Structure 1
Amino acid sequence: MTDMPSVSVVMPIYNAEPFLKQALDSVLGQTLDSIEVICVNDGSKDHSLDIMKEYASNDSRIKIIDKPNAGYGQTMNVGISASAGEYIGILEPDDYLKPTMYETLYKSAKEHDLDFVRSDYFRLTTDKDGIDHLKREPICFKSEYYDTVLNPQENLDLFNIRMENWTGIFKRSWIEGHDIRFNESPGAGFQDNGFWFQSYCWAKKIMVVNEGFYCYRVDNAASSINQTDKVFVMLDEYKWIENWLRSKPELYSKFIGVFHYKKTHNCEFALSRLAPEFKLPFLQRYAEEYKAAYATNEIDENLFHEEELERLRALLVSPEHYLEICKRQLNRNQRLNDARSGGKFSLFCAYAHEDGFVSALKRTLASVGK
């Protein structure tokens, strides 16, 4: 390929044999023909490399980089450095793409000269008969944020757009100009957070297209998101982001508040994924870090909803008590979910046990009407 590709698609690949062919078929079948596919093999021990070579022998747009295992972040950085495209996209090897994804995103990116453009995605599950099921997931919580040029420098609320980096494409010259990279921590553990935060701190022109293209597999037991023993990886990732932010005085004063705000969201997510025996050590370190942030006046409480502030304050008072509250909430949610599956009367009884007859009747009717 002599001309610059419109989009370089980086695929970080480690032991992806079960789904890799589906992923490669989807990216090579894009309606945007001007692409290159950077397959970075991170020391796979299965037949992933053989599959890459098979596909590369039939399509010159595939470039294979074979290297020892070094983790997701380092693998992504190798792929970014090897990319020659005008824009860079990401495809995880257990996911796949709708055919028009990169054509649609590239058209918007070029039309508006965007730093990056993103889109909604689909949650992908496969049933016992091998049939895929897709459920569209919006990444914007406000409809007015779709299909218009946005500037994170002027609106910190844009940091609340969901962070899934693989839903979009990023201008390569802009990535290189700001040296936006992934944290090269071991394994695969939330390194997407750092790339996401850097991209929003530097971006001035972004867009979210009101369509879904990326099909994200949620039922792969080997996925890093389904591993419950990575105790401090989220906190470590945010320490890496914090150190990066402190090294950029021109960004620190503007974004330290939203950094701490978004850190709470993602730490709560990480907590929900941990096995029970790891939750308290996580919360104890989490609390100490926020005590330090309050001591240096880095918390912008104006960014928080009142309920979020109450949770944070409860954590700072006692991580142990906070964990008990979380357990009760989890048990309550499980009871309500079980009641919903049992029908209207079961749901009514569950609400009545908590709130009394009148409130239960109102809540049941409201739930049924949703």
Structure 2
Amino acid sequence: MTDYPKVSIIITVYNAAPYVEAAVRSVTGQSLKEIEIILINDGSSDESLTNLERLVSEDERIQLYSQTHKGRPDARNLGMEHATGEFVYFMNCTDELKPEALENAYRFTKKQQLNFAFFDGDVVSEKGTDKQLNYYHRTDPYNDIEVYKGLSLFDNMLDSGTYRPVPWLLFIKRTTLQETGCRFYPGIVHDDELFTALLFIQSDRVGCIKRSLVMHRIVKEFMIPEKRLMYNIRCYFTVLDELFAYAGRFPYLYPHIRKYASITLNKVFRSVKNISFTNKIRVTWLCFKSRYLRYIKGTTLLRLWFNK
């Protein structure tokens, strides 16, 4: 393992045996060699751990840590505790990096002296999942010369529909994570939403890499099932609770968080289809009780109630 890694790649793994070897090998084969690969086994019950242990024996740059199953946020936070690289990349265990991805990201972010850089990802959709081939291509409106203010960029992306709250499309300076205190909120499924928003809001220097660096695989087994609808909605409300609490310290942020709340909640509720009458009542009551009903448009509620 290199003494001074340029990049720490954090990969959290839970029951991903069919995919994890290809993911890790896409990292060990990178053109940038001065890296450390931090694997967090989050209590897998399949063959994932066996595969990870074999990979560790093949490359001294790989570190493996295991914990009882606590969920992705805790696993990512554990990975950050062990990271020593100049930059950090959070990678999904089902994705694969393109061969020169880390070198391109490192050179660009280092040269521009950025808090983080954002880039595109290509999508591989498995059978039984929605095809979102261009969903993670969002760099077209931006250029690779300008250094953006994170809050202004956050606003612009929300307005243009190019905001994607996923850390695997970000290449982050580790001291930025330390200085901002950005961590993943435990116990929720939408930890990406809170982490990414807070990172944008607190960063002064953000750059755009106008190329796709990662192949993102959409796996049906890892998608949130419809039966967990109420939990799904509650997790979004937790994210909003935390963002509004943060804005309480910096009141100028309120308009930005309100915009985020409106865009995010309407998008979420427009995606809810064909649920039972009982769940329609439960979801609407939960929105009212949590005081987030005000951010949901009437047309969105009509679609929810009448399947239009």
Same fold (TM > 0.5): yes
Contact 2:126–2:220 (CA<8 Å) still a contact in 1? no
For residue 136 of structure 1, report the CA deviation from its aligned partner: 4.8
For residue 85 of structure 1, report the CA deviation from its aligned partner: 0.7
Contact 1:10–1:39 (CA<8 Å) still a contact in 2? yes
Secondary structure, counterpart of 1:117 in structure 2: strand
1:235–1:241 distance in 2 versus 1, CA, 3 Å: same
Contact 1:232–1:282 (CA<8 Å) still a contact in 2? no
Matched AA of 2:220: A
Contact 2:139–2:208 (CA<8 Å) still a contact in 1? no
For residue 157 of structure 1, report the CA deviation from its aligned partner: 2.4
For residue 225 of structure 1, report the CA deviation from its aligned partner: 4.2
Secondary structure, counterpart of 1:276 in structure 2: coil
Instruction: Choose which of 229, 242, 263 in structure 2 pairs with 1:265.
Output: 263
Q: In structure 2, what is the Cα distance between the partners aligned to 1:147 and 1:241?
A: 33
Structure 1 partner of 2:241: 242
Structure 2 partner of 1:349: none
Q: In structure 2, what is the Cα distance between the partners aligned to 1:173 and 1:291?
A: 34
Instruction: Choose which of 288, 299, 312 in structure 1 pairs with 2:297.
Output: 312
TM-score, normalised via structure 2 length: 0.86
Same amino acid, percent of matched pairs:
20
TM-score, normalised via structure 1 length: 0.73
For residue 146 of structure 1, report the CA deviation from its aligned partner: 4.8
Matched, 1:164 2:166: yes
Q: In structure 1, what is the Cα distance between the partners aligned to 2:223 and 2:157?
A: 24
Provide, for residues 46-65 of structure 1, a one-character-per-residue CA deviation record: whole Å limited to 9, x for no partner. Answer: 01011111000010111001
Question: What are the residue-to-residue correspondences of 1:3-42 with 2, within 5 Å?
Answer: 3-42=3-42
Question: What are the residue-to-residue correspondences of 1:168-317 with 2, within 5 Å?
Answer: 168-185=170-187, 189-218=189-218, 220-225=219-224, 228-243=227-242, 245-247=244-246, 249-251=248-250, 253-271=251-269, 272=271, 276-277=275-276, 278-290=279-291, 312-314=297-299
User: After alignment, is 190-199 or 240-249 more displaced?
Assistant: 240-249
Contact 2:154–2:200 (CA<8 Å) still a contact in 1? no
For residue 94 of structure 1, report the CA deviation from its aligned partner: 1.2
Name the structure, 1 or 2, with higher relative contact order (CA <8 Å, separation 6+): 2
Moved over 6 A (4+): none
Provide, for residues 87-133 of structure 1, a one-character-per-residue CA deviation record: whole Å limited to 9, x for no partner. Answer: 110111111111111111111110011111110111113579xxxx9
Contact 2:240–2:261 (CA<8 Å) still a contact in 1? no
Which structure 1 segments of 5+ residues have no match?
300-310, 329-370
Q: In structure 2, what is the Cα distance between the partners aligned to 1:274 and 1:122?
A: 27
Contact 2:190–2:239 (CA<8 Å) still a contact in 1? no
1:197–1:50 distance in 2 versus 1, CA, 3 Å: same
For residue 41 of structure 1, report the CA deviation from its aligned partner: 0.5
Q: In structure 1, what is the Cα distance between the partners aligned to 2:100 and 2:272?
A: 33
Q: In structure 1, what is the Cα distance between the partners aligned to 2:7 and 2:226?
A: 32
Matched AA of 2:179: G
Which structure 2 segments of 5+ residues have no match?
none
Provide, for residues 184-217 of structure 1, a one-character-per-residue CA deviation record: whole Å limited to 9, x for no partner. Answer: 015xx11110111110110111112110121111
Contact 1:194–1:238 (CA<8 Å) still a contact in 2? no
Matched AA of 2:116: F
Q: In structure 1, what is the Cα distance between the partners aligned to 2:247 and 2:258?
A: 16
1:11–1:141 distance in 2 versus 1, CA, 3 Å: closer
For residue 268 of structure 1, report the CA deviation from its aligned partner: 3.5
Structure 2 partner of 1:113: 113
For residue 22 of structure 1, report the CA deviation from its aligned partner: 1.0
Q: In structure 1, what is the Cα distance between the partners aligned to 2:145 and 2:221?
A: 35
Structure 1 partner of 2:54: 54
Q: In structure 1, what is the Cα distance between the partners aligned to 2:212 and 2:280?
A: 34
For residue 285 of structure 1, report the CA deviation from its aligned partner: 2.2
CA RMSD between the two structures:
2.7
Q: In structure 2, what is the Cα distance between the partners aligned to 1:214 and 1:53?
A: 24
Query: How many residue pairs are counted as aligned between the two chains?
Result: 299
Contact 1:146–1:208 (CA<8 Å) still a contact in 2? yes
Matched AA of 1:183: Y
Structure 2 partner of 1:340: none
Instruction: Name whichever structure is richer in helix by fraction.
Output: 1
Contact 1:30–1:101 (CA<8 Å) still a contact in 2? yes
Contact 1:230–1:274 (CA<8 Å) still a contact in 2? no
Instruction: Choose which of 280, 293, 304 in structure 2 pairs with 1:323.
Output: 304
For residue 80 of structure 1, report the CA deviation from its aligned partner: 1.1
Matched AA of 1:178: T
Q: In structure 1, what is the Cα distance between the partners aligned to 2:86 and 2:264?
A: 31
For residue 2 of structure 1, report the CA deviation from its aligned partner: 4.5
